[in-house]
Amino acid sequence: MESGVKYVKNNFMPLREFRDLPDANAQLMDWVMQDAGNRIHGTTRTPPLKRFVETEQAMLAPLPNSAPECARWATAKLHGDCHVQVEKCRYSAPWRLVGNDLAQCRFIEEKVPVLIAGPCGTGKSHIAQAIGHCAVRLGYDVMFTSQSSLLAQINAARATGAIERKMQALIRVPLIIIDDFGLKPLKPGQDEDFHNLVAERYERAATIITSNLDFT
């Protein structure tokens, strides 16, 4: 599942814009039917749509009468050691948030960054998305992006002479969630772009970064 998520983020998300959720779903369906579903899968050596029709479709069970609960919501406070624990996994956050409930999004008002670090598969992206969802429900504008997608957008803006306008737009977003920092090495110039964005947002807006790098 983790590899599938990365494939979508790296191949579908970059440089796309969505008017709303129906538009995003329509673009995703078109991409699946035209591109992703017809490629030769690296493991099975078969197009995913062909394999689905021939093998997997008949094995699907009927949908349940009621929608399943896809997310688990919980309230967690940051402890004195600057870590919050969710289902036996520990995540670090700024000391200024000690005692605060991250779901209340006070860190957005305080304009502080949050780092969610841990091994692959421990739910870092899900935690960040849940916080972002809470922020949206409180009325904040939120941008969720991967490191590679973000840098691709900045690079595309530079190529079209719109880099200053793009950077100013990114700086103004109240909360940006940057997923998978360090998953891929930064290319020459990307490190400077990333540093400049984070530095310009410091004490101006809140940023959440997830990473499986070891910062200890």
Mean pLDDT, contiguous 10-residue spans, the chain (216 residues): 70 85 91 91 87 89 78 68 74 68 84 87 86 91 93 92 93 94 85 91 93 76
86 close to 182: Cβ distance less than 8 angstroms: no
pLDDT for res 99: 59
Share the mean pLDDT of the chain: 85
- Cα separation, 203 vs 80, in Å, equals 22
**Pair type for strands 83-86 and 89-92:** antiparallel
pLDDT for res 2: 43
105 close to 138: Cβ distance less than 8 angstroms: yes
- Residue holding tokens 């779903």? 25
The CA-to-CA distance between both ends of the chain, in Å, stands at: 28
* pLDDT tens sequence across 133-165: 989 989 999 999 999 999 999 999 999 999 999
The CATH code of domain 83-211 reads 3.40.50.300
pTM of the complete model beyond 0.75: no
pLDDT for res 124: 87
pLDDT for res 1: 41
- Cα separation, 214 vs 216, in Å, equals 6
pLDDT for res 206: 95
Give CATH 3.40.50.300 domain extents, the chain. 83-211
pLDDT for res 64: 82
Measured CA to CA in angstroms, residue 61 lies from 56, 57, 79, 136, 142 at distances of 11, 9, 43, 34, 36
pLDDT for res 147: 92
pLDDT for res 151: 93
| 172 three-state secondary structure | helix
pLDDT for res 176: 96
pLDDT for res 100: 63
Helix (H) or strand (E) holding 115: strand 114-117
The tokens describing 186, both together, are: 């930064």
Helix (H) or strand (E) holding 84: strand 83-86
